[in-house]
Amino acid sequence: MKLMYAKTHEWVAIDGNKAKIGISDHAQHELGDLVFINLPAEGDSIVAGESFCDVESVKAVSDLYAPVSGRIVAVNTELESAPELINSDAMGAWICEVELESEGDDLMDEAAYAEFIK
Amino acid sequence: MIKKLVFVESKVFFPYTNQAVETEILNHVGRDELVIYLWANNKTVFIGKNQNAFSQCDILALRADGGYLARRFTGGGAVYHDKGNLNFSFFAHRENYDKTLNFSIIVDALKSLGVTATLSGRNDMIADGKKFSGNAFYESKDACLHHGTLLIKSVHANVEKYLRVHPEKIATKGVKSVSSRIVNLTQINPAITPEKVVNAIFIAAKKKFPQAEIETRNFYDFDRKEVKNLIKHYGDQNYILGDDIHYDFNFVRRFEWGTADIRVKLSQGKIEKIKIYSDALDTELATLQEKLLLGADIKTYDGEYSDIARAIEQALEESDNNAWPSVLTDN
């Protein structure tokens, strides 16, 4: 499994041709307490670099951007009634899983991302 | 760096047009621009992006009085707008986006009109300890928006009237509103008018950026076709009242045969799921009622989504005769 990060602060865990997507702990901290998430739908295609989901926190409504391209095969519907799971465990609270087509440009590994957010 | 200040003042009071222009500005904000858009609406209840319309607003009362219901694309709770409430929107690219700066422009503008305004929490501005401004934010990787209300001489009674939430209407999902003690700026300084606030904001912004180029963009200069499409989008009942997530709602009603807790999920105007919990002695009744209502086309009833609760109520009143509810059509 390979864990990568986008400049827009989403993480992607790539395992073979499947990839799970979430947002980084840094991102959840910047957003503040989440009160709502508009989840994408199973079967939707997402495109790297384009918005695939949005979240409402106590601070703002923010778009999330796809770190990879692919077709969504699973959605973590638990987040619908409990978006705060992203605040408590950003790396565990995956948003959706895709059948991977291609990775986005400029993805960073953990060390590079840690440097990026410094 | 901000090199250009752009001022836009709305000339209309139709909420969906003002929302359309706001979105059009957001979509085209220049990299070195700070755009300030000032607008006011006729009687409108504005709900947050992720709110359940039914649980936040007395839609029937609002519509009966000729008011509009609108959904903004930023978060937070429901607010009431009328011509006595001025809205401001600040737009900037992410690298120039600075909420603190935006707030300070408003605070400076009000100071010039004799009002001492302070921030309260993340989203409110207060004067004399009472709220006169609620703020909401949208952030993308490119353009960002900070917008807010300014109560100048709004009719307080209407806030109570339309934002009064019926206790039996409990949203199962969605963001809840928080009520606050509010104040009109004219209660602090009776000489204040929306026009004076508009001018004061533009002057305060210019003082922040004395070197910046100033452009006043005409309200009618925007791409008409795009604005027209956006007006359609913001006025669309499916958008305002919500997709199926927002549509999950429940309400409790007393009938001759007992009390029922009714939970409904709609899809494209039809009842997709319904669950009725009742204390009726006839235990089969709820199951029969559910069967009668499932798939019923609510949209055709008076053509208004807002009548859903009433339509279902009426259908259930008739259903103890085991008759087909006359108010609903089966498609």
Whether pLDDT at B302 is above 60: no
Tell me the CATH architecture of domain A2-106.
Beta Barrel (2.40)
- B120 in contact with A, Cβ within 8 Å: no
Contact B138 A60 (CB under 8 A): yes
Segment 70-109 of chain A within 8 Å of chain B by CB: 80-81
DSSP state of B153: S
Subunit contact A60:B75, Cβ cutoff 8 A: yes
Q: Which residue from A minimizes the CA distance to B124?
A: A59
- The residues in B 161-180 lying below 8 A from A, measured between CB atoms, are 173-175
State the pairing for strand pair B4-9/B130-139.
unpaired
- Tell me the C-alpha distance between B103 and B95, whole Å: 17
The Cα of A62 is separated from the nearest Cα of chain B by a number of Å equal to 5
- Give the rounded percent of residues in chain B with a pLDDT score beyond 90: 53
The Cα B130–Cα B271 span in angstroms is: 43
Label residue B252 by pLDDT band (50, 70, 90). low
Burial class of residue B129 (count of CB atoms within 10 Å of its CB; 0-12, 13-18, 19+): exposed
Domains of chain B (ranges plus CATH)? 4-241 (3.30.930.10), 248-330 (3.30.390)
Residues of B in contact with A63 (CB under 8 A): 139-141
pLDDT in tens, B117-169: 999 987 899 999 999 999 999 999 899 999 999 999 999 888 888 886 544 44
Beta carbons of B137 and A59 less than 8 Å apart? yes
Contacts (Cβ under 8 Å, ≥6 apart) of A47 = A66, A69
Q: Bigger pLDDT: B30 or B286?
A: B30
pLDDT of residue B128: 92
Tens of pLDDT, residue by residue over A82-104, are 999 999 999 999 999 999 999 99
Q: Which residues of B touch A81 (CB under 8 A)?
A: 173
Identify all chain B residues contacting A51, using CB atoms and an 8 Å cutoff: 140
pLDDT at B185 over 70: yes
- Chain B contacts of A59, Cβ < 8 Å? 122, 137
In angstroms, rounded to a whole number, what is the distance separating the alpha carbons of residues B68 and B225? 23
* Domain positions in chain A: 2-106
Q: Indicate if ipTM > 0.95.
A: no
Mean pLDDT value across residues B244-267: 65
- What confidence tens digit (pLDDT) does each residue in A1-49 have? 999 999 999 999 999 999 999 999 999 999 999 999 999 999 999 999 9
CA B148, CA B123: separation in Å to the nearest integer? 9
What residue spans of chain B are helical by DSSP H?
15-28, 53-56, 59-64, 99-111, 156-163, 185-188, 194-208, 224-235, 237-241, 244-247, 285-293, 308-319
Bridge-based pairing of strands A68-75 and A61-65 is unpaired
pLDDT over 60 at A71, yes or no: yes
A-chain residue closest to B173, CA distance: A81
3-state secondary structure of B149: strand
Bigger pLDDT: B25 or A58?
B25
pTM assigned to the model: 0.78
pLDDT for residue B327: 45
Residues of A in contact with B245 (CB under 8 A): 38, 80
Q: What is the mean pLDDT of residues A50-54?
A: 95
Considering chain B, what percentage of its residues have pLDDT values greater than 70?
A: 81
- From the CB of residue B39, how many other CB atoms can be counted at a distance below 10 Å? 24
- Of A48, A65, A20, give the one whose Cα is nearest residue A105: A48
- Predicted pLDDT of residue B288: 77
